[in-house]
Amino acid sequence: MNIHAIRVIYKYEMKRAFKTIAQSFASPVISTVLYFVVFGTAIGSRIDAIDNVSYGLFIVPGLVMLTVLSQSLANASFGIYFPRFTGQIYEVLSAPVSFVEIVTGYVGAAATKSFLIALIILATASFFVEMRIDHPFLMLAFLILTCISFSLFGFIIGLWASDFEKLQIIPLLVITPLVFLGGTFYTIEMLPPVWQTISLFNPVVYLVSGFRWSFFEVSDVSVGLSLSMVLLFLLICLLIIGWMFKTGYRLKQ
């Protein structure tokens, strides 16, 4: 195990985040504040409480998930795409590191960043609403699993993308709609029955639902199902990464 390699890759990626601190940490905070002002306060004051949870509080887990998903994808995909694009990747390829070590370094750093951002958002949100977390450990487990699995997914995108457009296209065209339709700002019970059924094919529903349950025991689907879906997604990402490792996909000619 080349621990030193994991350490320097991780450190390099974390340093990159702190160098662009405004972009990395301030922008998620600002957008969260905006969501709260618009949805939580302005519109939310006219929306009834859902299962005895005020609307402002209700959207907190959804907002955290929204940011964690997009940040994990953006950080992890860019982290590996950029050195491929500039050619710097030659050094990693010629080093005595295994693919597992490369993934651990890059994905570990991206997941850490998302995790920190999630904590910042929760802290910011607690200025607007009275925070309530019924199952803090389950909440952390959901959060960490999501950070890791979506960073893995981002890493896959960063390897697959052959240009900047492809790098953006999956987050924009697939993830953003799934997140907005995934019960981030509402419970799917509010939808007409047909759409409720369709929603069950959206993996983000399970994520948000389970995560929200760990806050106030309110969910669209059972927690056990949510947890299994997250683990399934993690497994799928690991399998894809494993296959990429075996074939040297997009890394080596």
Which residues of this chain interact with another protein, rule CB under 8 A? 2, 4-5, 7-9, 12, 15-16, 19, 86-88, 90-97, 248, 252-253
Q: Residue 25 class from Cβ within 10 Å (0-12 exposed, 13-18 middle, 19+ buried)?
A: middle
Which C-beta is closer to another protein: that of 52 or that of 86? 86
For residue 15, the minimal CB distance to another protein (Å) is 8
Query: Could you tell me which residues come within 8 angstroms of residue 97 by beta carbon, excluding any fewer than 6 positions away?
Result: 2, 5
DSSP 3-state assignment of 53?
Answer: strand
CB 112 to another protein: min, Å: 18
Q: Report, in Å, the least distance between residue 169 CB and another protein.
A: 23
- For another protein, give the closer residue by CB, 50 or 102: 102
Can you tell me the distance from the alpha carbon of 79 to that of 66, in angstroms, rounded to the nearest whole number? 20
Which tokens sit at 17? Answer: 């985040």
| Identity at 210, one-letter amino acid code | G
Residue closer to another protein by CB (options 90, 164) is 90
Least CB distance to another protein at residue 7 (A)? 6
Identity of the residue, 90 or 243, whose beta carbon is nearer to another protein in the bound complex? 90
Residues near 82 by beta carbon (within 8 Å), at least 6 away in sequence: 88
Give the nearest distance from C-beta 111 to another protein in angstroms. 20
Q: Which is nearer to another protein, 4 or 132 (CB)?
A: 4
Alpha-carbon span 161 to 78, nearest angstrom: 10
